[in-house]
Structure 1
């Protein structure tokens, strides 16, 4: 339970003793800035959760993180790790105040082994910065999150990172050889033997923290296995009339012998949103962006095969300038937030064969909820497509927050088609039983063993804590969370008009 004012005053003095006054803040503005992640939230959420932390602290060393965790236990305060704030589901947002640990000053790059292409980095470094550092030394970071300029090493790993490059090179687990993690006890643990090559099977604890959302420990450092810098990396862009016209693209590429670096399908609604704030954006159409890497002759041969493959589906190859602009803008996908001030993005994964049916159902959900939704997607591997719909939300409108119903309804579509939403946190913990089925008891046992006092990022996985540490009202059952969003969906259907922020040629979407 968050303490009284006198105890918070004492805690502030203790925190200053650990870090110094310049790296501990009680500033209302500073705390407010750390009370949300990328997702837009209605103000009514503050009635349910105390999302504004009591303190924001900025450690620089593993020892400081250990001391902070030990003190949080002593003071009876929750401790919440936070990276770049690019998450979508409240995984790094407090629910009962406490100590928010901003990891971004833990950004030191340590050992570099050019011969084995190993790079040791503190967990607060952004992925794009790591990629740029590697590229400047002739090495290649093969995968990166869509939010790479802000997303941190530890944050994306803890979120279960798949992203750009995953189709060819795998997910974040496949490039992390070793980590250092501070456990809820304050002990610093190494998860593996960093001297062992990843290509050889060996026991390690890395997977235990992959997708753990910072609930069983704070990742403070990792050693990455980089790749040789490819001789060529060529982006290609193909145009289709609309998303439905491009419906066979993911399955066709996945079923071919091609091994592209990245494959993304962009919705015309997305381009219309973008064009509103970026006039140089192409006219609304479905764009298929494919990147190829490797030796120049192999890339040229793959490009010719891809031209024939997508041309046979009705795709029109666009110029190199368009393809380059799409590649250069791969991390800048959501400036449309400026249109309304609010934007909500949800991440899901579907079996590749279910992609066509997903498009049908996504359009149906958007139509029923009277919403305009951009449905972008990218191939994770031959069997899986990540679908990342987003929509605009007017936070100050009485019915604006009811748009969050789309997150629940589209998640239901994912489950129905053999997929699932990505990420767990304050706003999506109700998905845990469906996502992990019989694993609830296993996770509870692990959490209890490592964090028996529930102090490290608590109340966001198998249960949802409220801001009230009182019997009966201290926890929201997952079913109640889901029911609330179902009620929001009902209210959306009563809305007299549909949201139409942009015009799409060929009719409303």
Structure 2
């Protein structure tokens, strides 16, 4: 897992440039295969930019060496590191990887509270437009995110809308970055919060969905939006919660780089209901809205394959599918996923079917009353009472016995 790798590096005073927020359990090969973006991507870029070399097993058993252990892959023909990163496992299986590593230095945690989440937009724009300011990580959480944690009986800082900036490296360099962030926040209505709050949120950075403790499903609608539209898209998220009759969990997200932002507005749902699929209409809704700003949804496997025809032109998609066929002409490596949307049952979930499904889910979801799963389970499980009462409240008699 990434956690083991990060701990091994930090013991020797180094870090891996970027890694997923799911690092306690996330596996290395999977994140590279998606060309993942996550913690540290703002400073050190995505997965592909931190790979020096790897060995990949292709469909006939051959082992391909993609780069070099000690130097970068420059001026050597096709950059195979970048070719296999992001292929979602369709071109081969990663066997081992050599990463770039960097001196750790120190972490510096800075946080700023705003009356509204969109109120952080002017300060954010100042930071991303200044080439001399290079934080390790920029993230945000809105007031609902913290309110729902407190309702679930989980410790959450007493803040409303929090914008967290993490610097890493030399102390003097971090001083300059912090001074710039302080000035930008103060000028635009932000209030600096205590360092211990910032450090707490950093330590909890891999547990974004803690409120699911209440016993509900909790799903993010992950979308990528241009950075200059950040403030506008915050408003779109709140509007989407209302239009789609969602039970909102909160609006969280990270800056991927200076031009790209990843929004993860999340919601509560009941996976046991027959209507449990309807809330996914919100994911399609947010993806459609992101597209209006020049952004798109993110996704994995068969659920993303149909979007190739949406986000690329036909010539690009054709070439990607040809490359897949050349390297895997027997279609044995992750067959169908990503490039054509074919399921194991022979059903092609391409653009026509998925577009229609998106429209139907959104339309039907808007017709249903507002979701109240979180509130219902909160009352049912009585999370604000003692631990033994929580256990008792889950004890239901069924016929002659109980479970």
**TM-score of the two chains, using structure 1 as the length reference:** 0.69
Q: Secondary structure at the match of 2:358?
A: helix
Query: Contact 1:267–1:286 (CA<8 Å) still a contact in 2?
Result: yes
Structure 1 residue 467 displacement after superposition: 4.2
Segments of 5+ residues of structure 1 without an aligned counterpart are 1-125, 503-509
Structure 1 residue 153 displacement after superposition: 1.2
2:324 alignment partner, one of 439, 447, 458: 447
The answer for the alignment partner of 2:216 in structure 1 is 341
Query: Contact 2:33–2:86 (CA<8 Å) still a contact in 1?
Result: yes
Q: Distance in 1 between matches of 2:332 and 2:229?
A: 40
Q: Are residues 1:323 and 2:198 paired?
A: yes
Q: Distance in 1 between matches of 2:152 and 2:62?
A: 48
Q: Are residues 1:468 and 2:345 paired?
A: yes
Q: Distance in 2 between matches of 1:484 and 1:255?
A: 39
Q: Distance in 2 between matches of 1:221 and 1:459?
A: 24
Q: Are residues 1:485 and 2:358 paired?
A: yes
Query: Contact 1:433–1:462 (CA<8 Å) still a contact in 2?
Result: no
Q: Distance in 2 between matches of 1:391 and 1:138?
A: 38
- Mean Cα deviation higher: 409-418 or 331-340: 331-340
User: How has the CA–CA distance of structure 1 residues 497 and 350 changed in structure 2, closer, same or farther, with 3 Å as cutoff?
Assistant: closer
Q: Are residues 1:223 and 2:223 paired?
A: no
Structure 1 residue 245 displacement after superposition: 2.3
CA deviation map 1:182-211 (0-9, x unaligned): 11112221112334345x554431111121
1:269 alignment partner, one of 139, 144, 155: 144
RMSD: 2.0
The answer for the alignment partner of 1:240 in structure 2 is 114
Query: Contact 1:340–1:392 (CA<8 Å) still a contact in 2?
Result: no
Q: Are residues 1:411 and 2:287 paired?
A: yes
The answer for the alignment partner of 2:308 in structure 1 is 432
1:185 alignment partner, one of 57, 60, 70: 60
CA deviation map 1:174-233 (0-9, x unaligned): 1101111111112221112334345x5544311111211111111111000101221x21
Segments of 5+ residues of structure 2 without an aligned counterpart are 376-403
Q: What is the total number of aligned residue pairs between the two structures?
A: 372
2:336 alignment partner, one of 445, 459, 463: 459
Q: Are residues 1:381 and 2:257 paired?
A: yes
Query: Contact 2:227–2:259 (CA<8 Å) still a contact in 1?
Result: yes
User: How has the CA–CA distance of structure 1 residues 477 and 297 changed in structure 2, closer, same or farther, with 3 Å as cutoff?
Assistant: closer
Q: Distance in 2 between matches of 1:450 and 1:320?
A: 51
Query: Contact 2:306–2:349 (CA<8 Å) still a contact in 1?
Result: no
Query: Contact 1:240–1:315 (CA<8 Å) still a contact in 2?
Result: yes
Q: Secondary structure at the match of 1:178?
A: strand
Query: Contact 1:211–1:423 (CA<8 Å) still a contact in 2?
Result: no
**TM-score of the two chains, using structure 2 as the length reference:** 0.87
After superposition, residues 52-451 of structure 1 pair within 5 angstroms as: 126-197=1-72, 200-203=74-77, 204-230=79-105, 232-256=106-130, 257-277=132-152, 279-283=154-158, 285-373=160-248, 374-438=250-314, 439-451=316-328
Q: Secondary structure at the match of 2:336?
A: coil
Q: Distance in 2 between matches of 1:402 and 1:169?
A: 38
Query: Contact 2:268–2:373 (CA<8 Å) still a contact in 1?
Result: no
Q: Are residues 1:495 and 2:372 paired?
A: no
Please identify runs of 4+ aligned residues in structure 1 that moved more than 6 A.
Answer: none
The answer for the alignment partner of 2:398 in structure 1 is none
CA deviation map 1:226-282 (0-9, x unaligned): 01221x211111111231322334322212332111111112222223323453202
Query: Contact 1:159–1:423 (CA<8 Å) still a contact in 2?
Result: no
Q: Distance in 1 between matches of 2:371 and 2:123?
A: 30
Query: Contact 1:168–1:261 (CA<8 Å) still a contact in 2?
Result: yes
Structure 1 residue 283 displacement after superposition: 3.7
